[in-house]
Structure 1
């Protein structure tokens, strides 16, 4: 598929999705629909083992939702706008492959919410984060009130959402909002290193680990442990499990095929 609001490239088992509305990469309906389509295609692409999500330019990962599109929407239309965003973000969150947000510049509002959907967040030292929607008389509508508390705890999430403060990369690291902070010029290099490590892992086991964690977080512990067993058995049935255990017993490096 040909995309306009995003760019998709693939190299050495890693796909990179770049938001392509510089300089601020505001999120609009077109981006949401294109992200959904791209993730659907990557899900079935066995050549891709990991995905990097980033923004074009050096000013913003995504500086928020496109307010010019939202400003004159009716309540029904804005509901559909939020639905489009949540559909795209859920697809990213539930992609059976690891997703890394390489955060350059501003990740505000919907941009921060997009980063929250990813499995890892690597931030440039110039990155800034926030959910400033309160200043517009609204609240986060693409998962911020739900994913942020689950990641950093309710008290800190309320502080960011209620006050609308914008924090720098160092503060985000301290909160556990990001996994790593690197110099801006090394951002994509670091994200690619992590993506290549992840893409070399057995695909079925990776998908099952992600599913067990993401789904299990929303279950009671007994149900979550049952889910873990189900995911374990699925991974155990894979060809890669046979290869992994065989390689371990033969004291050699495994050759995983993603099956």
Structure 2
């Protein structure tokens, strides 16, 4: 997990298995604590520390299992665990001897968070830095968010934290996440040795009295416009369905207005708040099954889902809802694929190519009902596909619906929608829709068993 090696120059190299780095892992915390005790015991005899990562760091199954089991009642324990991890990184950060991260290849997630706790960060030109937590429905934790904001500034840290975009070596250098880039391993070793020989030992900018946040504090005039429009732009982008980006933005801005210790606490609170929610669990399940499940045989299944979706949209148009409003309703419900409205059913149910639906004003309740129908009808088609064997499992139905049909991922997919709402609420909604709009919304008698077919997410 962590390999400790001392050179003749009294430089300790910590080689860390990147995939094992996990702020919520008590095992990793004990291992890191043991290495810190050895480093601290050397006192003035320690010339410096070089931190290296041995492997890329995809989120491990053990981490997903732990997070999926996390409940709101455990938020206090989650906060304490994160606080203990942040204390360990502060001991590394304030060791007294120079601490240098020497990076190469992909450095992601928790491994990058640990690297940011090293006051000097050097890298080979092939390095790629990324914080993918937002795509898993999570907030970067363990001090990663707070340090990225203080190293880069609010605006420069947005793509890394809120979008999960990768940064190459040049971009990371410009953003303040790296201090230098080396052409090869020999040059990297020379840069690391130079940093170790620096006296006094390098310190993090935020641990210095004269620190000013790059790009300005949130109150700076150049950031005011950005921060005023960012929440609305974010809500327009996510439809309010994805809590993580909004929580990340809040943690960034709130943390930038307080001292570093308080920023760590704010970051942890937002992490625990989001990680215990249903959306994060749905997205984590999907990310795990994307790796573990075989590719779904999705042709006929997706065709059935999309046919139901487009047919329901045409029925809405025949009922008098304007096509633009139907598209808005689909988008507000989370659909990433606009409904096709080329053919509108007439009073007898026959398609009329190119017929224009009458445009009427629509109340918000009507738009919400339209969005509900567009999602629910696809769920009915998916249950029918599971019953006929057109798709092998609920998990594959969820993956195909999201990847190929544009179904919203926040609810876990087309069958995941049942668990997202809760079986009782889903059944009540289906019965209400069947009563109001017809038997196409009537649940099959074995719908609960069908929703649990095959591999489970």
TM-score (norm: length of structure 1): 0.68
Could you tell me which residue of structure 2 aligns to residue 214 of structure 1? 207
Report if aligned partners of 1:9, 1:15 keep a CA contact under 8 Å in 2.
yes
Could you tell me which residue of structure 2 aligns to residue 74 of structure 1? 70
CA displacement, residues 188-223 of structure 1 (integer Å, 9 cap, x when unaligned) = 52354225523xx4xxxx36x74996163689xxxx
Distance 1:126 1:96 in 2: 30
SS in 2 for 1:44: helix
Distance 1:51 1:35 in 2: 14
Relative to total residues, which structure has the larger strand share, 1 or 2?
1
Could you tell me which residue of structure 1 aligns to residue 10 of structure 2? 13
SS in 2 for 1:181: strand
Is it true that 1:39 corresponds to 2:36 in the alignment? yes
Is it true that 1:55 corresponds to 2:53 in the alignment? yes
Alignment of 1:111-126 (within 5 A): 111-126=111-126
Distance 1:194 1:31 in 2: 30
Alignment of 1:68-147 (within 5 A): 68-72=62-66, 73-75=69-71, 76=74, 78-147=78-147
Deviation at residue 83 of structure 1 after TM alignment? 3.3
Unaligned stretches of 5+ residues in structure 1: 220-259
Distance 1:97 1:16, change over 3 A: same
Deviates more, 1:135-144 or 1:90-99: 90-99
Relative to total residues, which structure has the larger helix share, 1 or 2?
2
Task: Report the aligned-residue RMSD.
Answer: 2.7
Deviation at residue 9 of structure 1 after TM alignment? 1.1
Could you tell me which residue of structure 1 aligns to residue 19 of structure 2? 25
Distance 1:187 1:27, change over 3 A: farther
Distance 2:119 2:45 in 1: 20
Distance 2:180 2:208 in 1: 25
Report if aligned partners of 1:131, 1:160 keep a CA contact under 8 Å in 2.
yes
Distance 1:84 1:33 in 2: 10
Report if aligned partners of 2:182, 2:191 keep a CA contact under 8 Å in 1.
no
Deviates more, 1:73-82 or 1:120-129: 73-82
Unaligned stretches of 5+ residues in structure 2: 213-457
How many residues end up aligned between the 2 structures?
201
CA displacement, residues 123-180 of structure 1 (integer Å, 9 cap, x when unaligned) = 1111111211100001111112211111110111122111111111121112121011
